[in-house]
Chain A
């Protein structure tokens, strides 16, 4: 399993990350790892205003990560069949894209 490109996650353009999972299911490993990596000190220090909220349910529902960006966009990651590195890659690519957009808008 290839590690994501950078060790830390940059959360500059993110407003809120809501992670919901059911710990007694067998398909939550990737979601929990994603939560651990996103909720780490280094990741949160990149943006102190970003909230990382985790909800624990027991209704055998699939694990879901709901990310809200500063410009209103939403990214929904369904972690049932994904690995944590895939989720991180997708999340980081979107984040960098948003960062570039924000920089271009700021320059103008």
Chain B
């Protein structure tokens, strides 16, 4: 509106206008660059910012203080969940799924839920930053690409393996069972192990083999035992005699 009421040639930037209107001059805040008063121009020219001369070009050396980014609130929540998951579960398996439909995932989740295994999704970045300073730091290279966590309280490996064999896209990368990091082959061999009670029974029987042998010997007829002892004495004397001959 000021331009229509007062005829003036808008000068180039930095020049004072030839005709200065008094009545309908522009306001302080305009859409065009309002020409400054000469004194203000001079002041602005004198007080221009001169950056300090850099001896070292920027980016030549790495920064002195490392930029540590704080975790966002969502990440804090996810880390808490992860911590709970690792604390409460004996078995944590890492599986890569190349592509599965929603229905495939649903079937898998249903089958695993019957055995008490839950399927968890966490972003790789969160998992890596959580894992790197902890017990499971060696699991960090597993978490690349689309990964899923199979988590359960009881280490039910056989059922998990059979379910995974049914879906071809899932690839078992590794598992952490009872704070022991296992590879895929380790998991398979773990599943083939007999149960704890069977192993304990085998160990006990192996240790008590000698004593049970002696007990069975004593339980037989004493004549048998005396015959055995006489044979043993003969053997000892026959061994003693050749040794004495060799010595002399």
Contact = CB atoms under 8 A, between A and B. Distances in A.
Interface residues of B, number: 20
Given A56-B173, A58-B185, A36 B141 contact: no
A4 interface: no
B78 interface: no
Given A54-B171, A56-B171, A23 B185 contact: no
Interface in A70-100: none
Contacts, number: 58
B142 interface: yes
A84 to B, nearest CB: 10
B185 A28 contact: no
B161 interface: no
A98 B183 CA distance: 38
A8 to B, nearest CB: 12
Contacts of A24: 138, 141-142, 174, 183
Interface residues of A, number: 21
Main secondary structure of the interface of B (DSSP, over half): mixed
Contact of B99 (A23, A28, A40): A40
Residue among A32, A40, A58 with max Cβ neighbours from chain B (10 Å): A32
Nearest to A58: B183
A39 B171 CA distance: 11
A26 B185 contact: no
Nearest to B141: A24
A58 B141 CA distance: 13
Contacts of B146: 36
B127 interface: no
Interface in B73-100: 96, 98-99
Interface string A25-38: 11011001101101
Contact of B144 (A32, A40, A53): A32
A49 to B, nearest CB: 13
Given A23-B142, A36-B145, A44-B99, A57 B174 contact: no
A62 B101 CA distance: 31
Interface string B126-166: 00000000000010011011100000000000000000000
Interface string B107-141: 00000000000000000000000000000001001
A37 to B, nearest CB: 9
A35 B144 contact: no
B14 interface: no
B186 interface: yes
A44 B169 CA distance: 11
Contacts of B144: 28-29, 32-33
A26 B144 CA distance: 10
Nearest to B174: A23
Given A41-B101, A53-B168, 18 more contacts: A23-B142, A23-B173, A24-B141, A24-B183, A28-B141, A32-B145, A35-B145, A36-B96, A39-B99, A41-B99, A52-B168, A52-B169, A54-B96, A54-B98, A56-B172, A56-B173, A56-B184, A57-B185
